[in-house]
C-alpha cells in the first residue's frame, strides 16, 4: 500500500464560547481536516488547529504547508513506515501543527490497516483516562460556575485555571473555583502572561489555594527566569510553549527550567510525542497530556494517546474543551463518563466524519 496524496480541508465550527487566555483568544474554530489517501482506498484522518499566538500558524498556512509541501513529501511511502514519513515531514521547518496533524492522520491509517485502535498500537496500558477541563478567562464567578457545571455534568475533578491577568483577578478566579470545589485538583496556566516578579507574587498568593503546578509563567525566551522560579517553587513549573519539540524540551530539562512537561499530540503527533515522553521518563520528569482547544476529533486523538502509556494513563488529560464548540464534524461524539474519556474501540482513531456536517462547515466548496 502507498500514500497517494494528502487533502487539507479548511472548516469553521460554531462556538458555544470564546476561549480567552493570557496569550490570546480562540475566537474562531477554524480548523483543518487532514486526510491521507492511499492507492487502496484507505484514508487516515486527523484535525489541525491553527494557534497563531503559540506557533505562528494560521488556517491558510496549515492548508498551504500540507498541499504545497507535506503531501508530495510522503507520496509513494508505505503508511507503516512511520519513521520514514516522520523524516520526510520533518524536512519542513516550523509548521508544527501541520506536521503534527499529518503524523496523526498517518497513525489513523496505520490503525485501519492493522485493524487495531491507535491506543493499543501505542502501548495499550489502560482502556481510558481521567478527563481535565481548562477554565478560560472570564469573570471569577462565571469561571467557578463553569467548573461546577463540569463537575456535576461530566464528573470532572481536575481543572486547569487560566491565569496571567492582573494579580487580583487571578487570585479571585482561583479562589472562587477552590471555594466552589474544595476537593478538586487545580493547576494554573499563565500562558506567559507574567514577568518574573509578577509570577513570584502571584504564585505566593495562589499556593495556599492548593494548586498542583504552574504552567508557563513568563515569556518563552526567558529561560533564566523559569529556572529561578522552578528552583523557588514547591510545586512544579510546567513547560508548554517552551517545550513544543523534542529538542526544546531537552534544552528546558537540561537547564532545570521546567519540572513537568505538557505533551500535546496536536503539535508533536504521536511519533514525536512518544519521543518526548521517553525523554521525560528518562529524567524522572512527569508529563501531562495537554490541549490546545481541540475539537472533538482532537479530543479523541488525545484520548487515544494518554491511556496508552503507564507514564500518562494515571494523570488527567486535557480533553474537555471540545465542549466549547456548539457543533462538530463527528457522527459520534467523544465518550465521557464519570470523569473519564473512553477512546473509540474502532481501528485507528476510531472516528467517523459526518459528511453532511463536513459539507456544511467546510470553507473550500
197 is catalytic: no
Specify whether 364 is catalytic.
no
Give the residue with the Cβ less far from ligand MUC, 77 or 297: 297
Does 322 contact ligand MUC by CB under 6 A?
Answer: no
Nearer to ligand MUC, 293 or 361 (CB): 293
In terms of C-beta density within 10 A (0-12 exposed, 13-18 middle, 19 or more buried), how is residue 158 classed? buried
Q: Which of 240, 241, 252, 324 is catalytic?
A: 240
Q: How far is the CB of 11 from Mg ion (least distance, A)?
A: 25
**Distance separating alpha carbons of residues 173 and 193, to the nearest angstrom:** 15
Q: Is 112 a catalytic residue?
A: no
Applying CB under 5 A, which of residues 146, 240, 252, 328 lies at the interface with Mg ion?
240
Mark the segment that binds Mg ion (CB under 5 A) among 57-65, 91-99, 107-115, 185-193.
185-193
Stretch that binds Mg ion, among 53-61, 189-197, 245-253, 323-331 (CB under 5 A): 189-197
Number of residues that bind Mg ion (CB under 5 A): 3
Query: Which of the listed partners (ligand MUC, Mg ion, none) does 293 bind, with a CB threshold of 5 to 8 Å by partner kind?
Result: ligand MUC
Active-site residue flag, 59? no
79 binds ligand MUC (CB under 6 A): no
Position 290 contacts ligand MUC (CB under 6 A)? yes
User: 264, 294, 318, 328: which is the annotated catalytic residue?
Assistant: 264
Which of 51, 99, 119, 274 binds ligand MUC (CB under 6 A)? It is 51
* Residue showing cell 519521543: 275
Q: How far is the CB of 288 from Mg ion (least distance, A)?
A: 9
HEC per residue, the chain: CCEEEEEEEEEEECECCCEEECCEEECCEEEEEEEEEECCCCEEEEEECCCHHHHCCCHHHHHHHHHHHHHHHHCCCCCCCHHHHHHHHCCCCCCHHHHHHHHHHHHHHHHHHHCCEHHHHHCCCCCCEEEEEEECCCCHHHHHHHHHHHHHHHCCCEEEEECCCCHHHHHHHHHHHHHHCCCCEEEEECCCCCCHHHHHHHHHHHHHHCEEEEECCCCCCCHHHHHHHHHHCCCCEEECCCCCCHHHHHHHHHHCCCCEEEECHHHHHHHHHHHHHHHHHHHCCCEEECCCCCCHHHHHHHHHHHHHCHHHHCCCEECHHHHHECCCCECCCCEEECCEEECCCCCECCCCECHHHHHHHECCC
* CB closest to Mg ion, residue no: 240
Cell numbers that stand for 46 in this block: 486527523
Residue 194 contacts ligand MUC per CB under 6 A:
no
Would you call 352 a catalytic residue per the annotation? no
162 included as an active-site residue: yes
Nearest residue (CB) to ligand MUC, 82 versus 96 = 96
- If we measure between CA atoms, which residue out of 157, 101, 145, 144 comes closest to residue 270? 101
Which residue, 290 or 339, is less far from ligand MUC as judged by CB? 290
> Which of 7, 47, 146, 240: binder of ligand MUC (CB under 6 A)?
240
How far apart, in whole angstroms, are the C-alpha atoms of residue 212 and residue 220?
A: 21
293 is a site residue for ligand MUC (CB under 6 A):
yes
Please choose, out of 9-17, 94-102, 140-148, 287-295, the segment that lies near ligand MUC by the rule CB under 6 A: 287-295
Q: Which does 322 bind (CB under 5 to 8 A by kind): ligand MUC, Mg ion, none?
A: none
Residues at the site binding ligand MUC, with contacts judged by CB under 6 A:
21, 51, 54, 189, 191, 240, 290-293
Residues at the site binding Mg ion, with contacts judged by CB under 5 A:
189, 215, 240
- Residues with active-site annotation: 162, 189, 215, 240, 264, 292
Amino acid at each position: 500500500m502507498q500514500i497517494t496524496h494528502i487533502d487539507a480541508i479548511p472548516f469553521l465550527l460554531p462556538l458555544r464560547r470564546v476561549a480567552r487566555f493570557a496569550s490570546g483568544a480562540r475566537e474562531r474554530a477554524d480548523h483543518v481536516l487532514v486526510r491521507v489517501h492511499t492507492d487502496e482506498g484507505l484514508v487516515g484522518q486527523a484535525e489541525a488547529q491553527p494557534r497563531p499566538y503559540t506557533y505562528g500558524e494560521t488556517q491558510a498556512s496549515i492548508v498551504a504547508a500540507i498541499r504545497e509541501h507535506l503531501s508530495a513529501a510522503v507520496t509513494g511511502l508505505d503508511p507503516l513506515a512511520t519513521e520514514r514519513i516522520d523524516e520526510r515531514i520533518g524536512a519542513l521547518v516550523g509548521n508544527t501543527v501541520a506536521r503534527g496533524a499529518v503524523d496523526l492522520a498517518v497513525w489513523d491509517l496505520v490503525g485501519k490497516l492493522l485493524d487495531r485502535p491507535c491506543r493499543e498500537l501505542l502501548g495499550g496500558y489502560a482502556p481510558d483516562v481521567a478527563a481535565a477541563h481548562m477554565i478560560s478567562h472570564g469573570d471569577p464567578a462565571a469561571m467557578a460556575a463553569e467548573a461546577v457545571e463540569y463537575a456535576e455534568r461530566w464528573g470532572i475533578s481536575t481543572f486547569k485555571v487560566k491565569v496571567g491577568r492582573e494579580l487580583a483577578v487571578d487570585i479571585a478566579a482561583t479562589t472562587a473555583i477552590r471555594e466552589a470545589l474544595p476537593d478538586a485538583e487545580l493547576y494554573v496556566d499563565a500562558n506567559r502572561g507574567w514577568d518574573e516578579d509578577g509570577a513570584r507574587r502571584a504564585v505566593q498568593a495562589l499556593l495556599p489555594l492548593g494548586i498542583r503546578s504552574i504552567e508557563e509563567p513568563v515569556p518563552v525566551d526567558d529561560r533564566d527566569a523559569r529556572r529561578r522560579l522552578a528552583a523557588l517553587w514547591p510545586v512544579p513549573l510546567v513547560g508548554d510553549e517552551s517545550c513544543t519539540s523534542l529538542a526544546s524540551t531537552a534544552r528546558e530539562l537540561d537547564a532545570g527550567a521546567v519540572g513537568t512537561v505538557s505533551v500535546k499530540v496536536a503539535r508533536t503527533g504521536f511519533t514525536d510525542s512518544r519521543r518526548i515522553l521517553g525523554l521525560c521518563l528518562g529524567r524522572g520528569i512527569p508529563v501531562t497530556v495537554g490541549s490546545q482547544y481541540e475539537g472533538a476529533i482532537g479530543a479523541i486523538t488525545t484520548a487515544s494517546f494518554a491511556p496508552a502509556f503507564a507514564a500518562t494513563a494515571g494523570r488527567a488529560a486535557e480533553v474537555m474543551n471540545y465542549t466549547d464548540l456548539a457543533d462538530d464534524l463527528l457522527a459520534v461524539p467523544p465518550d465521557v463518563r464519570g470523569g473519564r474519556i473512553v477512546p473509540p474501540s474502532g481501528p485507528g482513531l476510531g472516528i467517523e466524519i459526518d459528511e453532511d456536517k463536513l459539507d456544511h462547515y467546510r470553507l473550500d466548496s
